[in-house]
Structure 1
Amino acid sequence: MAEVKSKQDTERTRLETVIPLDTPFELQLAVTNLCNFRCGYCPCSAPELLKKNRVRKGNMDFELYTKIIDDLSEFPQKIKILRLVKEGEPLLNKRFADMVRYAKEKQPSVTVDTTTNATLLTPDLSDAIIDAGLDKIFISLQGVTAEAYKRISDVTVDFDALVENILYFCRNRRQCKVYIKVPDIGVNEVEKERFFRLFDRHVDEMFVEHIIPTWPDFDISSVKKDDGIGYYGDPVYPGYIKVCPTIFYNLNIDFDGVMAPCPLDWAHVTSLGNVREQSLRELWNGPKINALRRQHLQGERGSHPLCGKCVTLEYCNVDIIDAYADEILQRFSSLP
C-alpha cells in the first residue's frame, strides 16, 4: 500500500549548520518551459501573461544539457538531487529519456527525478525513461474525471487511458519510485476516495495537495481563495520570513542556460549568469548569487524585484533560518 504523505523531506540537513555550501544539494533544470496544460493556478500556461512579460519559451538543447551535467564533476562533492523540471511539462522535450540516461551514466549516485502531468507518458516512453534509469517520478493529476481536467487545466483528457498509462509505468518501473498527487480544488470528498482506490496499491506515496499562492506576481484567487492553510496542511506561518533558504542549497538553470535564483522565477525576472559562458561551479560561488544571499541575510529580501513579491516562504517553508542570519552572514564575509 502507498504511504499517504506530502513530498516534504522530514530528514533534512539543518541548513544553518552547513551553509555556505561548496556544492549545491540540488540542481534543477528547466529541460523545457513549454506546457500542454493551461492550469488556472500556474502562470506558465497563461499566454497573455507570458507575452506581457516577454518570457521566452523553448526546450533545452541536448548540447547545453550535456555541458551542464559535465560541469558537475568540478564540484568538490556530489549533488544529492538532479531535478529535470522547473516550469513546464518536461516530457515535451523529445530528448528527455536521453537526458536521464546521460545523467545516470555521468553521475550514477545522484538521484534523478522529474514531475509530469503524465499525459505524454505512453508505454513506449515509459519503457525508455525507466530503462534510462530515472530514480523518482512525481505525477501531478488535476482530478479524477475528464470534467475536472477541462475545468482546471482547459484540456480534454481521456482519463481512463491516462490511468492505464500511469499503471503501465507503475507495473514496469523497476528502480523508479512513484509519487502521485491531486490538487484539493480538483476533487470532492467522494473523488478523493476514488483517487486513493485507483493508485493505492500501485505507487509509493500519494497526497492531496493544498493549492497555495505559489508564484510571485500571479493571482490565483479566481481559482482558490486563501484559507490560511499552507501547502503541507499546516497553518500559514504567522510572521514574515526574511531569509529564503532555497538560494543556499538549490541551483536553477532555465532552458536557455540562464541561472535563476529559484524555481519560482517564472517571468525570468533575475539572471545570475549563464552556464553557456561560465561553469556551474563559477555560477554557484559567484558574486551575483552571493550578493542575493547577503541581501536576504541582511533583512532586505523585500527590496528584491522577485523575492520581495514571494509569499511561498510563509506557505511551505520547512527551513526557517532567520535566527541564524547574522552568524551565517559572517561566514560570507570572505566570499566574492
Structure 2
Amino acid sequence: MKKMSEHLNEITRPSESVFSARPPLPEKLSLELNNTCNLNCEFCPFHSPHLPEHYKMKLSHMDPEMAKDILKRASELGIGRKELGLFATGEILLYEGFGEIIGYAKELGTFPYIYLTTNGVLADRDKIEEAVSAGVDSIRFSINAGNREDYLKLHGKDRFDTVIENLKNTSGYLKSLGRNINLSVSCVVTKRTEAEKDNIRSLLSEYVDDIVFMNVGFLEDISSEVKKEYAVTGDEAEKVIGDEYICGYIFNTMFIDSNGIVRLCCSSGKALVPMADLNKDPDLERAWYDPVFCGFRERLLTGRTKGTVCEKC
C-alpha cells in the first residue's frame, strides 16, 4: 500500500497530460460526508473560533442516499478510479453510518484505494473496526502538536492523551490483523510547533507508516492576530516549489462538499467556490466540464491567478 506522502505527491504533482482546461475525468474523488467538527483549531480556515462571520459555514451532514448516488455515478464514469478520500473540512467519525458508505463504495468495485482522515478524538476501537470491516485502505490521523500544552492551545480542547492512545491502539489493532492497511499522521506546522518536528517523529514514528508535515496556510483568512501568532517564519517558510509549479488539484481531483456542491478545492474558506450543484443537476461529467471550472483551469495554466485563492496558496 502506498504511503500518504506518495498519494499527496500524485495529487499536487500529477502527470502533465492532465494540464488542460478540459482534462480527463478525475482519477481522484474527495467526498465530504459532513463539515462538522469536534475541535476548534486556532489555525483552521473552517472551524477556528477567530473566523469572521462571512467565512463561517452552514454545518451539514450529507444524506446517505445522496452519498451513495454520487458514488454510483462516479463509479460508472470512472471518477475516483485511483482513490476515494472521505475527508475535507469536517471530522468523519461524527457521521453516523460512515462505515456503510465505505462498504458501499467498496462493493461498487471501482475505488481501489479508500482513505479517511480523522483528528483521532473519536477513533476508539469500535470506530476503527467499523472502518476496517467496511474495507478502508488507509487511515490518517491529524495531530498538530507533540505535547499536551501545545495541543490544547492549538486545538482548543484537551484531547492530546486520548488521541495518542487511540493512535497507539489503532496501530496495534491493524498490526494484529496482518492486513495491508496504511496508518499515517499529518501535522500542520505552526510557529508554535516548528521546532517540535523531531519530537513528534520520535513520539509517533513507531506506530505509523508515514508522517507528513505541512506548513500552516491561509491564516490571513482568519485574522491578522492569528497570522502573527502562528505563521511559520525563517527557513521553514522558504518557498520549496518553483514559479513554474501548477497545482494539480483542480485537474485531477473532484471535491464534493456535504451539501452536494462541487467545489474548486478545500484548502480554505475562500476556495469553497461553487462550480456545480448536484442537487439541481447530478451529472458529474457536466459538473467537471462546467464553463466556470474550465475557465478557472485556463487561468491557472496561463498564470492569471491574481485575485484568486490560488494566488497565495
Match of 2:277 among 258, 274, 281: 274
1:258 aligns with 2:261: yes
Displacement of 1:164 in angstroms is 2.3
Are 2:213 and 1:212 aligned?
Answer: no
Question: Against the structure 1 CA distance between its residues 6 and 127, is the aligned structure 2 distance closer, same or farther, given a 3 Å change threshold?
Answer: same
TM-fit CA distance, 1:149: 1.7
Paired amino acid for 2:262 = M
> How far apart are 1:9 and its partner, in Å?
2.6
- State the shift of 1:295 in Å: 2.9
Residue type of the alignment partner of 1:31: L
Shift of 1:83: 0.9
Residues of 1 paired with 2:5 and 2:67: CA distance?
32
Sort the Cα spacing of 1:35 and 1:114 in 2 relative to 1 into closer, same or farther, 3 A: same
Instruction: Give the secondary structure class of the aligned counterpart of 1:252.
Output: strand
Provide the secondary structure at the position in 2 that maps to 1:55. Answer: coil
Are 2:17 and 1:17 aligned? yes
* 2:173 alignment counterpart: 172
Q: CA separation in 2, counterparts of 1:229 and 1:235?
A: 9
1:328 paired residue number: none
Displacement after TM superposition at 1:86 (Å): 1.0
Tell me, in whole angstroms, the C-alpha distance in 2 between the residues paired with 1:296 and 1:4. Answer: 26
**Correspondence for 1:112 among 104, 111, 114:** 114
Partner of 2:143: 141
Could you say what secondary structure the match of 1:181 adopts?
A: strand
The aligned counterpart of 2:291 is 287
- The amino acid that maps onto 2:266 is P
Question: Which amino acid in the other structure matches residue 136 of structure 1?
Answer: S
Q: Distance in 1 between matches of 2:299 and 2:244?
A: 15
Measure the CA separation in 2 of the matches of 1:288 and 1:5: 31
Q: Is this contact kept in 1: 2:137–2:182, CA < 8 A?
A: yes
| TM-score using structure 1 length | 0.78
Whole-angstrom distance in 1 between the partners of 2:4 and 2:243 = 29
Q: Is the 8 A contact 2:78 2:110 kept in 1?
A: no
Q: Read off the aligned partner of 1:272 and give its amino acid letter.
A: M
**Aligned partner of residue 49 in structure 1, secondary structure:** coil
Give the 3 Å change call, closer, same or farther, for CA 30–5 of structure 1 in structure 2.
closer
After TM superposition, the score normalised by the length of structure 2 is 0.83
Q: Tell me the distance in 2 between the aligned counterparts of 1:58 and 1:67.
A: 18
Q: How many angstroms apart in 2 are the aligned matches of 1:45 and 1:17?
A: 36
Determine if contact 2:114/2:137 at 8 Å carries over to the other structure.
yes
Residues 311 and 240 of structure 1, relative CA distance in 2, 3 Å threshold:
farther
> Percent sequence identity over matched residues?
23
Amino acid at match of 1:104: K
Q: How far apart are 1:6 and its partner, in Å?
A: 8.0
* Higher Cα radius of gyration: 1
Could you tell me which runs of 5 or more consecutive residues in structure 1 were left unpaired when the two chains were aligned. 313-336
Q: CA-to-partner distance for each residue in 1:217-253, whole Å, 9 max, x for gaps?
A: 34442332342656xx863446486x54321111111
1:96 aligns with 2:102: no
Deviates more, 1:127-136 or 1:270-279: 270-279
**Letter in structure 1 aligned against 2:164:** V
1:175 Cα deviation after fit:
3.0
SS of the equivalent of 2:258 reads: coil
Following superposition, the deviation at residue 79 of structure 1 comes to 2.0
Tell me, yes or no, if the aligned pair for 2:261 and 2:275 is still in contact at 8 Å.
yes
Q: Which has the higher helix share?
A: 2
- Contact 1:40/1:223 (8 A) holds in 2: no
Shift in Å at residue 21 of structure 1?
A: 3.2
Q: Distance in 2 between matches of 1:283 and 1:254?
A: 13
Equivalenced residues, count? 301
In the alignment, residue 15 of structure 2 is paired with which amino acid? L
Instruction: State whether structure 2 residue 300 is matched by structure 1 residue 296.
Output: yes
Extract unaligned runs of 5+ from structure 2: none
- Corresponding residue number in structure 1 for 2:228: 222
Q: Is the 8 A contact 2:171 2:207 kept in 1?
A: yes
Take 2:101 and 2:255, find their aligned partners in 1: how far apart are those partners? 16
